[in-house]
Chains A and B, each alone.
Chain A
């Protein structure tokens, strides 16, 4: 056996170990209910903003506290607290992906991604008057 083959085998073995171990890093998509089973563990939750319920951001009190309500894919509505400033245009988001964990009855999240209606898909043309 060639030396280079031995080194390659070692490298491949190491790479396999790394790849297997990195699966532990991957998060999973959950719902509020399934995330409550393990409070404190980081999950991803996909949901929709509850526009009728209160959104609260008062930077004078705490610039890192934005709370709102989200309905998850199972239809459960839960309070979410985002530790940051209120993201732009969250009112118009079609879908929200949050990364965080359950604590008591609230979902504490530190990352939000929103899917917004693309400006290209708006089937409306801005029409000027006159």
Chain B
């Protein structure tokens, strides 16, 4: 059972307190967008094997959303950060790169 620290309230929360929200940093394409863009937005997910950025909600806690950087293979948590951002914080990316030198880096 995963343990993620909610950056909004600072609690190290158990998975039962959290709701998973899928991949993070997805760009929304709304009315008038091209078919390809809309398809990417609605259906295409990385399903990464390794470093992955995802959305979580502290649903049985403070109720706030946040983002987590996690390894889908080892379940190592590199860090959690605000959901109000377009990409992961620079220092987090640096930290992951150090731990996973072969990682391709954050690709939106």
The finding on whether chains A and B are genuine partners in a shared complex, rather than unrelated, reads no
| Residues of B in contact with A (beta carbons under 8 Å apart) | none
